[in-house]
Amino acid sequence: MDNELTTNQVWIRSFREKDARNTNRPKASTVPSILPVPVGAFSLRKRKSQSLYISSTTTCLIHIVIQTHKLGGPAACAAVVVVAVADLAVDDGLRTGYHFQPPKHWINACCGIGEANGRDRDPVRADPNGVMYYKGVYHLFYQYNPRGAVWGNIVWAHAVSTDLVDWVMLPPAMYPTAPFDVNGCWSGSANVLPDGTPVIMCRTWRTPRTSPTRTSGSGSSRTTTPVIAPGPGMNATAFRDPTTAWQGPDGLWRLVIGTKNNHRGLAMLYHSRDFKKWAPANRALHSGDTGMWECPDFYPVTSPGVSGGGGGTKNVLKVSLDLTRFEYYTFGEYDHATDTYVPDAALADGNDGLRYDYGNFYASKTFLDTAKQRRILWGWANESDSTADDIRKGWAGVQAVPRKIWLSSDGKQLVQWPLAEIESLRGGLVNITDRLVGAGQHFEVAGLASAAQADVEASFQVADLDKAESFDPAWRGADAQTVCAARGADARGGVGPFGLREERTAVFFRVFKGGDGGKHVVLMCNDPSMSSHADNLYKPTFAGFVDVDIAQTGGKIALRTLIDHSVVESFGAHGKTCILSRVNLLMVQKLNRNHPTPNK
Ligand code: DQQ
Give the tens place of pLDDT for each residue, 505-515. Answer: 789 999 999 88
Mean pLDDT of 436-447: 78
Name the nearest CA neighbour of 248 among 314, 311, 339.
Answer: 339
Centre of ligand 1 from the C-alpha of residue 347, in Å: 26
Name the nearest CA neighbour of 486 among 459, 460, 514, 512.
Answer: 512
Distance CA 496, CA 494 (A): 6
Ligand 1 close to Cβ of residue 295 (< 6 A): yes
Distance CA 447, CA 67 (A): 10
Centre of ligand 1 from the C-alpha of residue 290, in Å: 17
Distance CA 393, CA 91 (A): 4
Name the residue with higher pLDDT: 357 or 451: 357
Taking the CA atoms of 572, 577, 578 and 582 in sequence, report the sign of the dihedral they define: negative
Centre of ligand 1 from the C-alpha of residue 108, in Å: 8
Distance CA 525, CA 543 (A): 4
What Rg do the C-alpha atoms of the chain give, in angstroms? 24
Distance CA 508, CA 525 (A): 5
Mean pLDDT of 401-426: 94
Whether the per-residue pLDDT at 279 is higher than 90: the answer is yes
Provide the H-helix boundaries in 65-179: 78-85, 118-121
The closest-lying atom of ligand 1 relative to the alpha carbon of residue 325 is: 11
Q: What CA–CA distances, in Å, run from 346 to 59, 331, 578?
A: 34, 10, 20
361 falls in which pLDDT band (50, 70, 90)? very high
Ligand 1 close to Cβ of residue 142 (< 6 A): no
Centre of ligand 1 from the C-alpha of residue 109, in Å: 6
202 falls in which pLDDT band (50, 70, 90)? confident
Mean pLDDT of 337-344: 97
CATH superfamily placement of domain 100-400 = Glycosyl hydrolase domain; family 43 (2.115.10.20)
Mean pLDDT of 447-459: 84
Ligand 1 close to Cβ of residue 45 (< 6 A): no
Lowest mean pLDDT among 78-87, 296-305, 542-551: 78-87
Which residue's CA is the closest to the ligand 1 atom numbered 9?
Answer: 294
Name the residue with higher pLDDT: 55 or 481: 481
Ligand 1 close to Cβ of residue 109 (< 6 A): yes
Centre of ligand 1 from the C-alpha of residue 294, in Å: 7
Whether the per-residue pLDDT at 266 is higher than 90: the answer is yes
Centre of ligand 1 from the C-alpha of residue 363, in Å: 7
pLDDT score, position 62: 64
Mean pLDDT of 1-29: 32
355 falls in which pLDDT band (50, 70, 90)? very high
Which residue's CA is the closest to the ligand 1 atom numbered 6?
Answer: 186
Ligand 1 close to Cβ of residue 108 (< 6 A): yes
Q: What CA–CA distances, in Å, run from 117 to 236, 303, 377?
A: 29, 22, 20
Ligand 1 close to Cβ of residue 143 (< 6 A): yes
Burial class (CB in 10 A: 0-12, 13-18, 19+), 310: exposed
Phi, psi of 184 (to 5 degrees): 120, 165
Measure CA 439 to chain center: 34
Whether the per-residue pLDDT at 261 is higher than 70: the answer is yes
Name the residue with higher pLDDT: 582 or 450: 582
Domain spans in the chain, listed from the N-terminal domain onward: 4-74+429-591, 100-400
For every residue of 130-148, DSSP letters joined together read --SEETTEEEEEEEEETT-
565 falls in which pLDDT band (50, 70, 90)? confident
pLDDT score, position 226: 66
Please tell me the pTM assigned to this model: 0.83
User: Does 127 participate in catalysis according to the annotation?
Assistant: yes
Ligand 1 close to Cβ of residue 187 (< 6 A): yes
CATH superfamily placement of domain 4-74+429-591 = Exo-inulinase; domain 1 (2.60.120.560)
Which residue's CA is the closest to the ligand 1 atom numbered 4?
Answer: 187
Mean pLDDT over each residue of the chain, to the nearest integer: 76
Which residue's CA is the closest to the ligand 1 atom numbered 10?
Answer: 186
Ligand 1 close to Cβ of residue 294 (< 6 A): yes
Mean pLDDT of 144-154: 94
Contact 142, 157 (CB under 8 A): yes
Ligand 1 close to Cβ of residue 203 (< 6 A): yes
Distance CA 587, CA 531 (A): 8
Most confident option among 5-14, 265-274, 447-456 = 265-274
Three-class SS of residue 311?
helix
pLDDT score, position 19: 28
**Annotated catalytic residue: which of 120, 127, 241, 322?**
127
Ligand 1 close to Cβ of residue 462 (< 6 A): no
The closest-lying atom of ligand 1 relative to the alpha carbon of residue 320 is: 7
Distance CA 502, CA 505 (A): 5
Contact 500, 457 (CB under 8 A): no
575 falls in which pLDDT band (50, 70, 90)? very high
Mean pLDDT of 96-103: 92
The closest-lying atom of ligand 1 relative to the alpha carbon of residue 151 is: 10
Centre of ligand 1 from the C-alpha of residue 268, in Å: 17
